[in-house]
Amino acid sequence: MAVEPVNPDESTALEGSVAPSVRVSEGLRLSEQEEKPLEETVVKVFRCSKVVKGGRRFSFAALVVVGDRAGTVGVGYGKANEVPRAVEKGAKDGRKDLHKIVLAGRTIPHQVSGKYRATKITLVPASPGTGVIAGSSARAVLEYAGVQDVLTKVYGSTSAKNVVKATMGALLQLRDKEMVESLRGVAVNV
């Protein structure tokens, strides 16, 4: 992977703008979280075999979660003939699809459900000190999104791909009080 030198003139022009790799939806802007380095973790590696004349030929796919543990998270999926290459492709794919998640301190602002195919997941805010009560697939997404206290329950299929996508869908539905007020145009009393 080649690294291109940074032109100092361009970096000053980009200081006030949003990082190009982060998808900003519904008027959200990033703050000091832009500078946090992205971390990645492999949720699961899938092995597929193809029978050929000389035996079996294996290929691999990796499901990777990328995040800064401060409100930005993405999911990637990469396929290759070797595991390290599949993980690298998955991480690159995850960095292309980053999302900003609304957090309320260490937890989520409200209860939310996400659905993807045969999987449904419910995320419930928890009091400080509870931790992330979740299975391995949902835990990876929640921890790399920066959620530290949450309760989860998965209904239906527990396939890693489906659970990760359902968790991302649930996190993208989160709204804070200011967002709801601006969308509705009225003051919300909580």
Tokens of 94: 């995850």
Burial of 137 (C-beta count, 10 Å sphere; 0-12/13-18/19+): buried
Q: 144 versus 179: which is more confidently predicted? A: 144
Is the predicted pLDDT of residue 185 greater than 70, yes or no? yes
Tokens of 2: 């080649």
Per-residue pLDDT, 178:
86
pTM, to two decimals: 0.78
Strands 98-100 and 22-23: parallel
Per-residue pLDDT, 35:
59
Round the average pLDDT of the chain to a whole number and report it.
85
Round to whole Å and give the CA distance between 163 and 185: 34
Within 13 Å and on the Cβ side, how many CA atoms surround 123? 30
